[in-house]
Amino acid sequence: MNEEMISLRVKHAFAGFSLDVDLSLPGKGVTVLFGHSGSGKTTVLRCAAGLERAQQAHIALGDAVWQDTDKGIFVPTWQRSIGYVFQEASLFPHLNVRRNLAFGMKRTKAGGTLDDLFRVAEQLGINHLLDRAPDKLSGGERQRVAIARALLTRPRLLLMDEPLSALDMARKQEILPYLEQLHDRLEVPMLYVTHQIEEAAHLGDHLVLLDQGRVQASGPLAGVLARLDLPLARDQEGSVVIDATVEAHDTTWHLTHLRFPGGTIYVPQRDFAIGKSVRVRILARDVSIALSGDNPSSIQNRFACTVNDIAPADDAAQCLVGLRVGEVPLTARITHLSANQLGLAVGQQVWAQVKAVALLE
């Protein structure tokens, strides 16, 4: 087996629910397990951790096999090289932050040093909290400590089970930048469970869509989001994500230029270094279609593209139009009437007009 891959083949029957997944996932970056409550995403994570003993399973990280029911293999949780972050921080209340982190270091055979502790604390912005008790921390601070503790175990796989679900919006916005930094710096793969598409768009590289214990789709984030046959695209919040690079700042019009393989995206000016990698999210409802690119318009983000697919939306009056800007997928949500008046057909050359762009820092 390729040592870069994560294998999760799991079958398990519960009362009124069965899980049956067969996943081969990349051994780098962030894989998001996404689905509504009851879809089985947390159960998959618990099986990966050994907290749930699946009735039939082959679970492996590279050459390390953690469960193989055919061969009678089951490695207990404490012997798996994982870091696990729960919905609640689950810190030891009688230990201050420093001692909570030190406990994490004790779990690794290689041990750890104070330098490791301070480095991880600095990465997560908690170095000024080391002497505080857990009950003196905000919810966002507690979760950052829990993430730091998990990292200090030096895991081969980091598991996060809806780490933001217990936080209010302000605390989520506080912790998201640190998770994004981890995404950029982390050398170990992460399985991240969420039912919030915004979190998936911010953090994900690979997306697994689960429903009623089955895998509906699995693949690179941008490609899965752009599939018109999936519920994610048909929803009112259907969107695509585009990875871009900061190209220039226009101080006259206060705009920042983001370059991607299909052209340039203009966003309100931000204090980003030239060359910085950023991600944008574009909702399908914020994309309109024109037959020509030379008609005057207040919309500055306009791209020549090809109609790739046309499919129904969740609203009988609307449809989804899959577009390709070069090789980059884009989705427009328009009325059937508009599609008919434009005479849209697969393969047609059109112009996409993007009314709003959400910059995911």
Read off the pLDDT of residues 137-162 as tens digits, 9 standing for 90 and up: 988 899 999 999 999 888 999 999 99
pLDDT(281) > 90:
yes
**Confidence class for position 24, pLDDT limits 50, 70, 90:** very high
- Which tens digit of pLDDT belongs to each residue from 183-231? 778 888 999 999 999 999 999 999 999 999 999 999 999 999 999 999 9
Q: What is the pLDDT of residue 14?
A: 85
Stretch 64-86: mean pLDDT: 94
Contact 60, 7 (CB under 8 A): yes
The kind and range of the H/E element at 74 are strand 73-74
**Cβ-based burial of 32 (10 A; exposed 0-12, middle 13-18, buried ≥19):** buried
**What are the domain boundaries of the chain?**
5-234, 239-360
Q: What is the pLDDT of residue 216?
A: 96
> What whole-number distance in Å separates Cα of residue 232 and Cα of residue 219?
14
Q: What is the pLDDT of residue 153?
A: 87
pLDDT(285) > 90:
yes
Q: Which CATH architecture has domain 5-234?
A: 3-Layer(aba) Sandwich (3.40)
Q: What is the pLDDT of residue 2?
A: 42
Nearest C-alpha neighbor of 159 from the set 139, 181, 189:
189
Q: What is the pLDDT of residue 103?
A: 85
Handedness of CA 128, 130, 131, 137 (dihedral sign): positive
- Which tens digit of pLDDT belongs to each residue from 242-278? 999 999 999 999 999 999 999 999 999 999 999 999 9
Q: What are phi and psi of 251, to 5 degrees?
A: -75, -20
pLDDT(106) > 70:
yes
**Confidence class for position 113, pLDDT limits 50, 70, 90:** confident
Q: What is the pLDDT of residue 1?
A: 38
pTM: 0.90
- Which tens digit of pLDDT belongs to each residue from 305-341? 999 999 999 999 999 999 999 999 999 999 999 999 9
Nearby residues of 295 by Cβ (< 8 Å), 6 or more positions away = none
**Confidence class for position 114, pLDDT limits 50, 70, 90:** confident
Q: What is the pLDDT of residue 109?
A: 62
**Confidence class for position 56, pLDDT limits 50, 70, 90:** very high
The kind and range of the H/E element at 277 are strand 277-283
Contact 208, 31 (CB under 8 A): yes
Q: Which CATH class is domain 239-360?
A: mainly beta
- What letter represents residue 80's amino acid? R
Round the average pLDDT of the chain to a whole number and report it: 91
Stretch 62-87: mean pLDDT: 94
